[in-house]
């Protein structure tokens, strides 16, 4: 199936598909099926992490897809239990081996836990060595990025943060634009936890455009210039989540403003400034022992 997913140019010229598949909290069988359906539907961007403990399954699904590696965009992340230059290099090589790849398209620091500057120093060298096409961060607020930039020689190209209509991160969004850092949204639909898909404003727009509430929300992200990585283990929803680019499906300025009024600073995940969470998270090795 041909894809009409647009690409966004990162600060270094690398092109990233604006819609990808997230695989958080998927077991191996779910990953194999979801990645298969996604690639068949036209996705070329898959987002995983060492913390998800499913990089091997992602690698297997990629191999089984038969798609030439150069047409895929693969992201993984280094978790908070890994700090230090040598440790980051080792973790990167471990992830690469699990994925069955010889390079990564994007490597991210998963959270701004203490010591992330040394992660970044290692990632800069991996980037310079051609092992990673782009490097970035995840869950970094503006002050975390400013702290990183004090020692960095290369600025992050992406910041992957929780974003949805109930947590729009408008100030951070504008900061990232000013810094030429791409805004990538995780939990773009609220992870099914905040019921944003049931909001009357969203449902009214869904009826108007004959789209699902999820498609309205994803289209809102797209028109803000964000990269989105919605997760699904259902084939029909995986297909639905990239059916966003019909010539007649374009939210008006007034409709974008209506959705903007829904912002309530309501998180479904941890706050990156929660020091207790960040400290505790360094004791986890994967999502299965994060209690």
Check if the beta carbon of residue 156 is closer than 8 Å to that of residue 181. Answer: yes
**Set 7, 43, 52, 247: catalytic member:** 52
Q: Is 52 a catalytic residue?
A: yes
- Helix, strand or coil for residue 68? coil
Q: Kindly list the distances between the CA atom of residue 200 and the CA atoms of 190, 213, 220, 252, 256, in Å, as whole numbers in the listed order.
A: 16, 10, 15, 17, 14
C-alpha to C-alpha distance for 30 and 33, rounded to whole angstroms: 5
- Helix, strand or coil for residue 160? strand
Number of helical H runs and strand E runs in the chain: 11, 10
What six digits make up the tokens of 215? Answer: 């498609």
C-alpha to C-alpha distance for 193 and 183, rounded to whole angstroms: 22
Distance between alpha carbon 122 and the CA centroid of its chain, in Å?
A: 21
115-124 b/e (C-beta count within 10 Å ≥ 16 → b) = ebebbbbbbb
Distance between alpha carbon 120 and the CA centroid of its chain, in Å?
A: 18
Q: Kindly list the distances between the CA atom of residue 114 and the CA atoms of 110, 183, 210, in Å, as whole numbers in the listed order.
A: 12, 22, 47
As annotated, the active-site residues are 52
């Amino acid at each position: 199936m041909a894809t009409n997913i647009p690409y966004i140019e990162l600060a270094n010229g690398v092109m990233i598909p604006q819609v990808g598949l997230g695989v958080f909290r998927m077991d191996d069988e779910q990953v194999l099926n979801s990645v298969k359906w996604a690639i068949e539907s036209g996705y070329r961007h898959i987002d995983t992490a060492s913390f998800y403990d499913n990089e091997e399954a992602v690698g297997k699904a990629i191999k089984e897809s038969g798609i030439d590696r150069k047409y895929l965009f693969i992201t993984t992340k280094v978790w908070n239990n890994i700090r230090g230059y040598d440790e980051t290099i080792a973790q990167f090589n471990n992830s690469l081996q699990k994925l069955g790849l010889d390079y990564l398209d994007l490597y991210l620091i998963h959270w701004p836990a203490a010591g992330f500057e040394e992660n970044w120093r290692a990632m800069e060298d991996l980037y310079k060595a051609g092992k990673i096409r782009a490097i970035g961060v995840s869950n970094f607020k503006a002050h975390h990025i400013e702290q990183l930039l004090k020692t960095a020689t290369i600025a992050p190209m992406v910041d992957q943060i929780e974003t949805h209509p109930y947590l729009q991160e408008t100030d951070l969004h504008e900061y990232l634009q000013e810094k030429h850092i791409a805004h990538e949204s995780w939990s773009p639909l609220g992870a099914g936890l905040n019921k944003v898909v049931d909001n009357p404003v969203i449902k009214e727009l869904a009826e108007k455009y004959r789209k699902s509430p999820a498609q309205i929300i994803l289209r809102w992200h797209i028109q803000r210039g964000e990269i989105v990585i919605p997760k699904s283990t259902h084939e029909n929803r995986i297909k639905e989540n990239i059916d966003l680019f019909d010539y007649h499906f374009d939210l008006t300025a007034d409709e974008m403003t209506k959705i903007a009024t829904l912002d309530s600073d309501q998180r479904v995940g941890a706050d990156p400034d929660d020091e207790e969470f960040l400290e505790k998270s360094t004791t986890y090795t994967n999502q299965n022992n994060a209690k």
